[in-house]
Copies of this chain bind each other. A is one copy, B any other.
């Protein structure tokens, strides 16, 4: 599902889909990993996931296992999940709570939560060995709207610079304070870019999502971010529906102090390269899309509501969750059929219509970031 265009300011006549190799070639995926996933700010969770000192979660970035943790001083930090001794993976469980240290389970090298090596049995017998030379390798970390972003680049561009166009834009949605009430994940046998493109237009809604189309007419609304790494816009929720739910009713309290217009709108944005953010008056959905291979992706989803919602009368997140579970499965199925087709020798870039201006802009951003200026 996704936002669509009314205004065509970002549409360039003659815009076409990308060549097939971008969806099938292992070499392209390897380039993506290096030039995009290993250099950009990648969304790895929410600050609220780390309640107490020692709480950690593992993230996968460009094939790397990264430990994201809150240290005992309350700061969020991230490290490569690799012991400096013989390379052993330090943390195994996807999440957990560490004691005051990270100890390697193999030969007991021990690190403080700020990464310093503080114990290394028998290494004092090695002449010239200095624990200061073997801290954990750090990974850059930053936050935006309560979401945590990691960046493998040794000297990353500051997130505040990279996110300048949207730094304040969603402030009224109260995102850092929302609570996660539901999580799910899907495996999709399609290239992750097909998932991002699919989210970015609603021209497919009448054929793929007949039920959704009765609540979110695909010709309503407008795109308001039409070029660059942040893309998307809104659709009007068609009365008498109050939200994008099975019943059409709101499933919880308003997310924040929303202006009247935003109380009847649904917003759909992509945050390049992997994040998708759906904002409804009463709930948000936070997606991350992870390439698992040239032809396979995993999509992780979280449903966020106002912290007072779960205890409020009429709260019913299932009403929204089922709406999107059905819609998302319809989308994954068609993405999988696209994957099969674009692998054909006869597939060639086809023409985008003005109502596919956002996927066209997403493709342009992707190719720019990949450094492929000429196709």
Contacts and interface: CB of A to CB of B under 8 A. Distances in A.
Given A87-B20, A88-B338, A351-B129, A344 B107 contact: no
A49 to B, nearest CB: 23
Interface residues of A, number: 54
A13 interface: yes
A81 B203 CA distance: 21
Interface in A42-65: 63-65
A341 B17 contact: no
A353 B123 contact: yes
Contacts of A351: 85, 123, 126, 129
Interface string A83-118: 111111110100000000000011110000000000
Contacts of A263: none
Interface stretch (A168-176, A204-212, A313-321): A204-212
Interface of chain A: mostly helix, strand, loop or mixed: loop
A85 B350 contact: yes
Interface in A1-50: 13-14, 17, 20
The quantity of this chain's copies bound in the complex is: 3
Given A105-B207, A105-B337, A87 B126 contact: no
Contacts of A90: 341
B338 A87 contact: yes
Q: Taking each of A17, A83, A128, A341, which has the highest tally of chain B beta carbons within 10 Å of its own beta carbon?
A: A341
B85 A122 contact: no
Contacts of A341: 81-83, 86-90
B206 A86 contact: no
A164 interface: no
Interface in A176-221: 203-204, 206-208
A354 interface: yes
Contacts of A329: none
A300 interface: no
A293 to B, nearest CB: 16
Given A13-B127, A17-B86, 11 more contacts: A80-B344, A80-B346, A85-B350, A88-B334, A88-B341, A106-B338, A108-B206, A122-B355, A123-B351, A125-B355, A126-B354
Interface of A: 13-14, 17, 20, 63-65, 80-90, 92, 105-108, 121-123, 125-129, 134, 137, 203-204, 206-208, 334, 337-338, 340-347, 350-351, 353-355
3 closest A-B pairs (Cβ-Cβ)? A87-B342, A87-B341, A89-B341
